[in-house]
A and B are shown apart, each in its own frame.
Chain A
């Protein structure tokens, strides 16, 4: 592995500023790693030429002592973000050949700050999945393997391309999106850091929509500092997204290292679910001890409606997706399969264009919004959603952050759960409530399973209090001192 790609985002940034390395060198090193890492199937599109052009421009700015906060730093972009003139598919066949004539606000913010685009990262089709197996471009392979096994594991999902590419050092950091855990669960499965900010912190404009009231962009990075740096650039108010919130973006990196002395950390008792593996429970307990040792005050809290979060999510998210995906009709862009008449064309196009999981969710969503079912499902789910948000609000009256496991298991094998959607959905049991309540959450790698796979702890914060969240995450990271890295078997 190249020495250059071992640098974290913060370290590479500092080295570039000091002119110890150049953006062209750094970008070249990543392109080489990407070429050697195709077995992981992380990138669906590589923008090599564009990245070298961007790197040259960055070097020119750096040479003049100018440049933004991310100047010359090569990033991977989840294929859910529209990138101007660059193929954007959401890993769906239905967006076949789609090159948006516009740039998403979040990626535009990154380019504004000087970042370099390496390419577009694989994900679950339309971000619907927890294992990156629903992608039209095939599953992403987790760089991590179980001890003594060469079985291919999933990198989590839906941002599996992002998590695997960061873990395998095929980019410095990646953009991702999180609707029910799609940043945090893949981060946990790959030993990386993933933060889903508060709903409204990042603009959704130009991100292919899955469930509008839940979708939120965030980064997957190698450590907490990198996450803070990325989020500072990605976040901000956008007049084009009326759900984005107009409040200043703090310098998140500056919040790190302030320690957690006196911080009140809540432990939600309802997260001790039946059948949780002992090693996850043990990891959680270690996390509690670390924070206590760092001076935090630990308090048990109750989130009584937690058990309704998953069913609520699987009503709200499919309902919104069934409507959001109606625009993929073969009329204006993407795939079209000709038919006898317009209805036949719609049916053939959507049958050919959407994979099984997307079709399942469109059907579920259509069902729960249908006349006669709306009140029993969608309306009830909205009410429960309000109760879940109230649970959190009550808890945050007493504590500053919550600590939970990120996922109920370590990474599982490719194909292991594809026939059992319910067990797949259970992966998101700890992450989904956070989206329903619109809160920020972060996953930090905290240890290894007995099989040698990374496990993550999740911290949940108050709305728009990413600073406290990052502070606590940094403390967990320091205490966990997670140094493990996957063997680079994919280069063989």
Chain B
């Protein structure tokens, strides 16, 4: 998609950290992304065929998808709603009238000989995505447009020694092409953009964001310029299918362009492919193969006209989005911006947190969810849906800490056991006798025993009060950690004569 960006791009002061040092000076990278997001829908954009991933080849192909003679496309209303929902989620202009065009080119996995897309009049116009960078910076990336289009089929070159096969299951599946403005200045920002966009799409339920299955792919436009210079010639790196590769492709491509320019060469505007094996980009097709797509309005489809009332209804039913959720978590639970950002990056994680935090100490809940709980998920490679510990169970654990039944230290031990076995924390406490001892008499007896056994340490402590910690350790050890640490501290201080008020 070619767009005149120079006039619409956001003005940004270059940051030292983002600049690339060259032999002739510092270079700035200018990045814009075109993300293809598969619309979450049971049926294809213009046919009723299933869109299920991983089905037997050519089993989800209607006569329309195979472009049989006389077949006509009929728009799938649900896909249109999904596009509108996405547009609203991107705070974008919804165009009540949009037009489907044909993009003409020959390829075996494109049965019609054209892709139905939206060229001049997309369904969604300008919007924006807010990036929360790890250094607490915020970057706003403009959205140029979002349009609906058909996916192509898939050519299979590894099935036969002399022939290529075609799988049309994907042919006609609805995609949203989301075009950003060239508002990103580093590979890190590009990665953050795709991550954030994916989060928004998942919150909206309009794309599952599964990059391994090809549900989300990015074309990355890269150009470089000397600081303050006009925009350079860009290259488009096609179909990059992981966030990590996006970063690698940008870093390689920017360096390549800088090297050419510093050697006195010029950049050819071209499409390139990223090879994950070598970490390099290479030209996709030569210039003589450049396509003239001959876009024109598809005469089989009337212009797509939406009613404002329908758009409003979709807007009213929108779920809470990451930015709003983050703001709410900060204000309602007193979370730090960092904790809130971590939590909202995945709607399921934020929901888990809220279930744990409800009616409890929010800070304690945040520490446990973002700390031990996320660490366990990461260690085991579990998605939150696969967690053996439910939010209810983790909440109970927190309750046991708060009411003094267990200590924080024991809680960690119980949590590990919960994660391994899925048992309720109260059950573990009972079964393993981990209830915290707050019985003054029992603790006093344990302290007395330690003091009696170590008269020299008692003397030393009188001179050096910090040694009291050693006694706490010994008492905890002799009570298998079950003694309430606060009670131990109080009694010890009194017995050792350290208490100011005692």
Task: Identify 26 residue pairs between A and B in the complex whose beta-carbon atoms are under 8 Å apart, listed by A's number.
Answer: A100-B70, A102-B68, A204-B70, A205-B71, A205-B72, A209-B70, A243-B72, A243-B299, A320-B299, A322-B104, A326-B104, A326-B106, A326-B113, A327-B69, A327-B112, A329-B106, A331-B108, A331-B166, A332-B67, A332-B68, A342-B164, A343-B106, A366-B294, A369-B104, A370-B294, A371-B294
User: Least Cβ distance of B197 to chain A in Å?
Assistant: 31
Contact residues in B for A82 (Cβ distance below 8 Å): 68-70
User: Least Cβ distance of A477 to chain B in Å?
Assistant: 33
Contact with B along A240-267 (1 / 0, CB 8 A): 1111000000000000000000000000
Q: Does B114 contact A (CB under 8 A)?
A: yes
Q: Are A323 and B102 in contact (CB under 8 A)?
A: yes
Q: Does B301 contact A (CB under 8 A)?
A: yes
Contact residues in B for A327 (Cβ distance below 8 Å): 67, 69, 111-113
Q: Are B300 and A212 in contact (CB under 8 A)?
A: yes
Q: Does A211 contact B (CB under 8 A)?
A: yes
Q: Are A102 and B112 in contact (CB under 8 A)?
A: no
**B105-129 interface (Cβ within 8 A of A):** 106, 108, 111-114
- Cα distance, A208 to B71, chains bound together (Å): 8
Q: Number of B interface residues at 8 Å Cβ cutoff, please give it.
A: 29
- Cα distance, A366 to B106, chains bound together (Å): 13
**B218-257 interface (Cβ within 8 A of A):** none
Contact residues in A for B66 (Cβ distance below 8 Å): 332
- Cα distance, A71 to B114, chains bound together (Å): 41
Of all chain A residues, the one with the shortest Cβ separation from B64 is: A240
Q: Does A221 contact B (CB under 8 A)?
A: no
Beyond the given A88-B69, A243-B300, please list 4 additional residue pairs across the A-B interface where CB-CB is below 8 A. A82-B69, A104-B70, A323-B294, A342-B108
Contact residues in A for B156 (Cβ distance below 8 Å): none
Contact residues in A for B68 (Cβ distance below 8 Å): 82, 100, 102, 332-333
Of all chain A residues, the one with the shortest Cβ separation from B300 is: A212
Contact residues in A for B63 (Cβ distance below 8 Å): 101-102
Contact residues in B for A100 (Cβ distance below 8 Å): 68-70
Contact residues in A for B113 (Cβ distance below 8 Å): 323, 325-327, 329
- Cα distance, A343 to B68, chains bound together (Å): 21
Known interface pairs A212-B299, A243-B300, A369-B294. Does A326 touch B112 (Cβ–Cβ under 8 Å)? Answer: yes
Known interface pairs A102-B63, A329-B106. Does A90 touch B69 (Cβ–Cβ under 8 Å)? Answer: yes
Contact residues in A for B111 (Cβ distance below 8 Å): 327, 331-332
Contact with B along A198-222 (1 / 0, CB 8 A): 0000001111110111000000000
Contact residues in A for B292 (Cβ distance below 8 Å): 370-371
Contact with B along A348-375 (1 / 0, CB 8 A): 0000000000000000001001110010
Known interface pairs A242-B74, A326-B113. Does A98 touch B104 (Cβ–Cβ under 8 Å)? Answer: no
Of all chain A residues, the one with the shortest Cβ separation from B293 is: A371
Q: Are A242 and B301 in contact (CB under 8 A)?
A: yes
Q: Does B75 contact A (CB under 8 A)?
A: yes
Contact residues in B for A329 (Cβ distance below 8 Å): 106, 108, 113
Q: Number of A interface residues at 8 Å Cβ cutoff, please give it.
A: 44
- Cα distance, A374 to B114, chains bound together (Å): 17
Contact residues in A for B296 (Cβ distance below 8 Å): 319, 323, 369, 374, 378
- Cα distance, A212 to B108, chains bound together (Å): 23
Cβ 8 A contact of B114, one of A205, A208, A323, A342: A323
Q: Does B302 contact A (CB under 8 A)?
A: yes
Contact with A along B88-116 (1 / 0, CB 8 A): 00000000000000101010100111100
- Cα distance, A265 to B104, chains bound together (Å): 44
Q: Are B294 and A95 in contact (CB under 8 A)?
A: no
- Cα distance, A327 to B68, chains bound together (Å): 8
Q: Which of A239, A242, A371 has the most CB of B within 10 A?
A: A242
Contact residues in A for B164 (Cβ distance below 8 Å): 342
Q: Are A205 and B70 in contact (CB under 8 A)?
A: yes
Rank and list the top 3 A-B pairs by shortest CB-CB distance, nearest first.
A326-B113, A369-B294, A213-B299
- Cα distance, A243 to B108, chains bound together (Å): 28
Contact with A along B370-405 (1 / 0, CB 8 A): 000000000000000000000000000000000000
User: Least Cβ distance of A472 to chain B in Å?
Assistant: 30
- Cα distance, A374 to B164, chains bound together (Å): 35
- Cα distance, A242 to B292, chains bound together (Å): 28
- Cα distance, A38 to B106, chains bound together (Å): 40
Q: Does A313 contact B (CB under 8 A)?
A: no
- Cα distance, A327 to B113, chains bound together (Å): 5
Contact residues in A for B72 (Cβ distance below 8 Å): 204-205, 240-243
User: Least Cβ distance of B440 to chain A in Å?
Assistant: 81
